[in-house]
Amino acid sequence: MMMRRDIYLFSNGRLMRKDNTLYIVSEDGIKRAVPVEQVENVHLFGQIDLNSALFNFSGQKEVMLHFYNYYGFYTGSFYPREHSVSGIVTVKQSDHYLRKEKRLFLAKCFVQSASFHMLRTCRKRGIHGYESVQIITELSKNIRDAKDVQQTMGIEGMIRQHYYRALNELIPEEFTFAERTKRPPRDPFNALISFGNTMMYTSVLSEIYKTQLNPTISYLHEPSQKRFSLCLDLAEIFKPLLVDPLLITLVNKKKITSKHFENHDGMVYLNEMGRKIVIAAFDERLQQTIRHRKLKRNVSYWYLIRLECYKLIKHVIGDTPYIPLKAWW
């Protein structure tokens, strides 16, 4: 079976359907055909014209479309009609949100996994003895005693604050940053983090879509009408495991340098060349495999995300208690 892949469109043009094929038409009229069976997600960074026939075709073939603005910031997704609907999973998922103790358990799980992977990144990079890392270690011990989700998020916020201070020890001086700034990013490394987190978010959304989970019912982050908040919950696990080590490597190996950024009224963002480099590296990382100690076979990082979704389903339906991923390799 051919593995489906993601397509990233940076140039302006049109995306259209012809027969059973997607056609990418550039501004100069050049057409490139991509059989739809080979496509899982389409990421649109350029100004791309679409029509209802394309959306209908994408929905039928279960292809997700992710949209980004001029600066590379995520703006939304076309989420095809769910094909793995389960009323019982939705009911149970909602019940775990509505019941304080059930929601708190899952919220703590996500933060515990995130802090574990933050410490793992620091340990593997040789800064486990630094003050910020020691503070993270102590703060992590408080997660299990948190009384509610708000307190859990407060602990997570303090952990992440010290984690970003620790990251400054791992990146070149020209990329060091004083604090995490998001809307908008104020320096190059913040721009990198924001873009990397965006790619992680859409990757999680893509995997949730393949399961019976409802992406709007979340536990750590408050459900919102404007976003798929369960993606934010699960992304907490994978950002320090996948995104941050990748960004650290890119800047230290000088694959990403100052020439890959632009500044607009104090907002710093990756230019097209920079985005292409990060996307290529991120896509390559997701396809890497590790030996799964329970499945006894190699699985990709892509599949690890989906496994986390399956584990969450088993938990909410009362099958197997949820144990969040903690990388053993």
- Strands 48-49 and 13-18, how do they pair? parallel
Best CA proximity match to 110, nearest among 241, 202, 14? 241
Residue 11 to residues 27, 48, 55, 63, 116, Cα–Cα distance (Å): 8, 8, 20, 20, 39
- Strands 21-26 and 13-18, how do they pair? antiparallel
Is 156 annotated in some ligand binding site? yes
Look up residue 141 and give its two tokens: 């011990």
Q: What is the DSSP string of 111-175?
A: HHHHHHHHHHHHHHTT-TTSHHHHHHHHHHTTGGG--SHHHHHHHHHHHHHHHHHHHTTTS-GGG
Residue 9 to residues 6, 30, 199, 243, 311, Cα–Cα distance (Å): 10, 14, 14, 21, 33
Is 174 annotated in some ligand binding site? no
DSSP three-state, residue 264: strand
Give the helix/strand (H/E) hosting 263. Answer: strand 261-264
Q: Are 185 and 62 in contact (CB under 8 A)?
A: no
Is 43 annotated in some ligand binding site? no
Per the annotation, binding residues for Mn(2+) are 156, 221, 236
Per the annotation, binding residues are 156, 221, 236
